[in-house]
């Protein structure tokens, strides 16, 4: 339950309705699921509620608030006063930066890089910008989440800017990828800035926790898979060099002298 100054937001909204809007506290207690309209709050009462909420929390309440219950109004206000979400997670990959860049920006093959994506559909390309649809594996409820995103890569600065085109439960979602060379390899950093819609099943704080938890898992998977590719290419390079040396050593002396 969201709290403010040690009290639940529902209690705060109830107090405002009683003190400023003429709400019968006993009637509200008897019918906690009733809408404000069902509790007798008319348009003037709703205007007063909006004014107090705007003054106290700098949040606006939609005109349809009369159709909401007190807990629903409290949840709406709490979500809109919730600070925007921000996460930053990184991993050092023991591989050259060009390889890390190429593999992690090959969006069409993200199903081989991430463990959460079942399908990647490329919708449009324009230079270094790609628009694509991601579909996840079904969750515990059997739901396959899907959305369209767009990302623009800058190979000079080794940065990528991305955002969700179909935002779903998000008001917005912006992602920044950064790549830097370090002594132990390449550091890849993900920064995500977002806000959840009032109707989303989780608030900004909850989604921040989810993203931080999942990012650690996916970054570890990517590290392992890219490092495996780096080792394979290194081994292939050694094999090719050895073969070239063998061929050169077996070449007839006369052929080299011609």
pLDDT tens-digit series, residues 50-88: 999 999 888 888 888 999 999 999 988 887 777 889 999
| pLDDT confidence band for 251 (50 / 70 / 90) | low
Going by their DSSP bridges, the two strands 117-126 and 85-93 should be labelled as unpaired
How many angstroms from the chain centroid is the CA of residue 241?
Answer: 44
- Same fold yes or no, 3-81 and 85-238: no
What number does CATH give the domain 3-81? 1.10.1200.10
| pLDDT attached to residue 12 | 92
| Domain 85-238, CATH class in plain words | alpha beta
User: What letters, b where the CB count within 10 A reaches 16 and e where it falls short, cover 33-48?
Assistant: eebbeebebeeebbeb
Average pLDDT for residues 154-163, to the nearest whole number?
Answer: 98
Under DSSP, is residue 161 helix (H, G, I), strand (E, B) or coil? strand
* pLDDT the model gives residue 216: 96
For residue 124, the 8-state DSSP code is: E
Helix (H, G, I), strand (E, B) or coil at 139: coil
Query: How confident is the model over 176-196, as a mean pLDDT?
Result: 96
Task: Give the tens place of pLDDT for each residue, 27-38.
Answer: 999 999 999 999
Is the pLDDT at 252 greater than 70, yes or no?
no
List the single range of 114-118, 140-144, 184-188, 237-241 with lowest mean pLDDT: 237-241
Report whether 234 contacts 99 (CB < 8 A): no
| Domains in the chain: boundaries | 3-81, 85-238
The residue that leads in pLDDT, 194 or 1, is: 194
pLDDT number for residue 174: 97
pLDDT for position 239: 77
pTM comes to 0.68
Model confidence band, residue 245 (pLDDT cutoffs 50, 70, 90): low
């Amino acid at each position: 339950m969201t709290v403010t100054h040690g009290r639940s937001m529902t209690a705060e909204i109830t107090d405002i309705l009683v003190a400023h809007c003429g709400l019968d506290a006993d009637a509200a207690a008897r019918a906690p699921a009733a809408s404000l309209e069902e509790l007798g709050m008319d348009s003037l009462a709703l205007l007063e509620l909006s004014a107090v909420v705007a003054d106290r929390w700098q949040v606006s309440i939609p005109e349809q608030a009369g159709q909401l219950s007190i807990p629903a109004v409290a949840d709406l206000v709490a979500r809109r006063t919730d600070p925007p979400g921000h996460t930053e997670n990184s991993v050092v990959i023991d591989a050259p930066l060009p390889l890390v860049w190429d593999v992690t920006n090959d969006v069409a093959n993200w199903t081989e890089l991430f463990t959460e994506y079942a399908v990647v559909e490329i919708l449009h390309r324009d230079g270094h910008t790609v628009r694509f649809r991601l579909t996840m594996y079904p969750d515990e409820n059997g739901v396959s989440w899907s959305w369209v995103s767009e990302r623009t890569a800058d190979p000079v600065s080794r940065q990528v800017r991305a955002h969700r085109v179909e935002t779903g439960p998000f008001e917005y979602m912006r992602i920044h990828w950064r790549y830097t060379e370090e002594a132990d390899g390449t550091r890849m950093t993900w920064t995500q800035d977002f806000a959840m819609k009032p109707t989303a099943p989780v608030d900004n704080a909850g989604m921040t926790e989810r993203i931080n938890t999942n990012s650690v898992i996916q970054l570890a998977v990517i590290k392992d898979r890219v490092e495996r590719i780096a080792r394979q290419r290194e081994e292939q390079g050694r094999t090719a060099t050895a073969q070239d040396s063998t061929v050169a050593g077996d070449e007839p002396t006369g052929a080299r002298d011609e």
